[in-house]
Amino acid sequence: MILLLRVDHRLLHGQVAFSWTQTLGADCILIANDAVAGDELRKKTMKLAKPQGVKLVIKDIKAAIEALNSGVTDKYKLFIVVESVEDAYKIVSNVKQIKQVNLGGIKPREGSRNISKTINLLEEEEKMIKELESQGVEVEIRQLPGDNKIYL
């Protein structure tokens, strides 16, 4: 069961590893990221940050989509974390059971617009989000689980 997909440029860190995982009741975190999947040092670092008793899986975007659609992840209470809106868009567009996306942290980049304390979006990312919303996907901004949801 997919509990939530979160966009956070830091991927796995304290808020994700502990606050979100505990609040959601997740027993597995899926980091879907092409760069990390091919970087043994980053994978080892992320494994050190995971909460005890929670499984951590790191896959590239294509492999994550395949695993999510195959049913192999159905036995887990799954929390998916991606680095970018583009990665979230690719996954949500190809995995129909995802109906909620949390924007937690997107760093400023050239050409991005600040829309909240921790969210900076490029114009093409805003278009992707609007398209997801038009498909019935809830997209919300919330840094911590106890924060109020803010909708775009």
Catalytic residues: 13
Distances, alpha carbon 116 to alpha carbons 84, 128, 138, 149, 152, in Å: 16, 18, 17, 12, 10
Residue 84: is it exposed, middle or buried by C-beta count within 10 angstroms (0-12/13-18/19+)? Answer: middle
Residue 83: is it exposed, middle or buried by C-beta count within 10 angstroms (0-12/13-18/19+)? Answer: buried
Task: Specify the residue for token string 């109020």.
Answer: 148
Tokens read off for 42: 């980053």
Mapped to the 3 state alphabet, what secondary structure does 110-139 carry? CCCEECCCCEEECHHHHHHHHHHHHCCCEE
